Amino acid sequence: FDEGRPLRPLVEVNLDEIVRAEIASVNRSRQLMIDSSGLSQVRILGDRHQLSRLVRNLLENAVRFANSGIWIAIEEVDRSAILTVSDDGPGVPLADRSRVFERFVRLDESRDRQSGGAGLGLAVAAAIASTHGGDLGLIESLHGGASFRVRVPKTR
């Protein structure tokens, strides 16, 4: 992303299919409920590989922090696909909400790289959203934890 290389040629993809595939591959070593009933079929122009990586990063983050559940939804709003990934974990403190998208930021410094990652997942996800003409941010969660919202225009 730093080198400004272009994405692969954009093709029409079903974002909901990408999300379902990533849900199927997520590490289920913990007993977590994953509610995907909010998925709607939305087709966008995008790089399937990079969009899969974005979804995987958000899901892995939710799995890491959720207490018992994760909620995933896709809807179409104003010619954009809106993907929301929420969990019922501790959430992100208000003071740290912009920092979590910076590289190498781990809010819990007591966690090592094996259990807490390198602090790149959300930064990479935000970069992928940006290269697709969209954005990634935190919104208020209905489930008490963190709720990440990705907006990607359907066409470029």
* Chain segment 36-71, per-residue pLDDT in tens: 999 999 999 999 999 999 999 999 999 999 999 999
Q: At what angle do helices 48-65 and 121-131 cross, to 10 degrees?
A: 150
Is there a contact between 135 and 24 (Cβ–Cβ < 8 Å)? no
- pLDDT at residue 6, rounded to an integer: 57
* Chain segment 91-147, per-residue pLDDT in tens: 887 666 566 656 544 555 433 334 455 456 888 999 999 999 999 999 888 899 999
Amino acid present at 14: N
Amino acid present at 118: A
- pLDDT at residue 93, rounded to an integer: 74
Residue 105 neighbours by CB under 8 Å, 6+ apart: 99, 119, 122, 123
What does the alpha-carbon distance between residue 4 and residue 90 come to, in Å, rounded to a whole number?
35
CA atoms within 13 A on the CB side of 4: 0
Burial (CB < 10 A; 0-12, 13-18, 19+), residue 6, is: exposed
CA atoms within 13 A on the CB side of 93: 6
Q: Report DSSP letters for 41-62, one per residue.
A: --EEEE-HHHHHHHHHHHHHHH
What does the alpha-carbon distance between residue 31 and residue 40 come to, in Å, rounded to a whole number?
25
Is there a contact between 52 and 104 (Cβ–Cβ < 8 Å)? no
- pLDDT at residue 37, rounded to an integer: 97
